[in-house]
Structure 1
Amino acid sequence: MRRTALGAAPCPVARSLDQIGDRWSLLIIRDALDGVRRFNEFQKHLGLARNILSSRLAKLVSHGILRLQPASDGSAYQEYVLTEKGESLRLVLNALHQWGGDFLFTLDEEPPPLVKKSTGERVARLEMTLPSGRVLHPSEVTVLRPESATGS
């Protein structure tokens, strides 16, 4: 079955999923955020078949989420490095981490906390707020659709 491209969809979520919407791509990005850079390291961490890993890495490079560069140790290898676009996905993955910790662990399991790298200090929960700082419940937030903005 052929996948429908969503790159021109009017919804930002659909466009995002067109570029990063499968689990392997998100796990590759997660590992890249943790410092993994080489093909063999990704394969070792993920246990992913070479052809699937190669395909996902190529897609992430083509979408400007990762870039290839010569290996930092001067060897003949190349490394996959997050671009600014890729690095900004840290917030998305942290939100997924928080959601998974809230709903996908049993009471006797402790999900690993998000912490500041340099100090180990726990990071505050991600929340949606108004510019005034008031925290919003998710049910208070919606997307303003173009037809709603014009009063139609």
Structure 2
Amino acid sequence: MNVLLVPFPMAPVNTKNVHRTNFLLGHPYGTDFVYDEMMVAPGLGDIARATTETVATMVSLLGTGGLTPGAGPTRGEREKGFYDILFLGELPDGRRVEAVVTGDRDPGYGSTSKMIAESALCLGRNVQGEGGIWTPGALMGPALRERLQERAGLTFHAR
């Protein structure tokens, strides 16, 4: 299957987070670990449409001073939303590693708020450690994953 890959908008932030987590955990992925994020673009027409909509929204926001209450998706749209994320990896010996993360709500509104709430609760209830500057994965990894699966509608599967 031929698909068009484009850079994921959050890749610059996420990549730094993943590399710092690898460092904080003592390099479990190795010292020569490489990480990057891409996303599948449905097609050139969809990319052009999304780009046009994004630019129009930004121009509108700048001209009006921001979003007004109720400007986001409806409750029904948020509740019907979902996401499936496929992570692909390649080991030094050439073997492939695949993992899938799914969420049962709209990623921007329905799922993110649950992830933030569970992260805060995990920090207060499940984390014990010394101070410092940590990434969520290094500080809360297994405990947060368990909370997200049990309470926030996420699933994590290796393939």
TM-score, normalising length from structure 2?
A: 0.21
Higher relative contact order (CA 8 A, sep 6+): 2
More strand by share: 2
More helix by share: 2
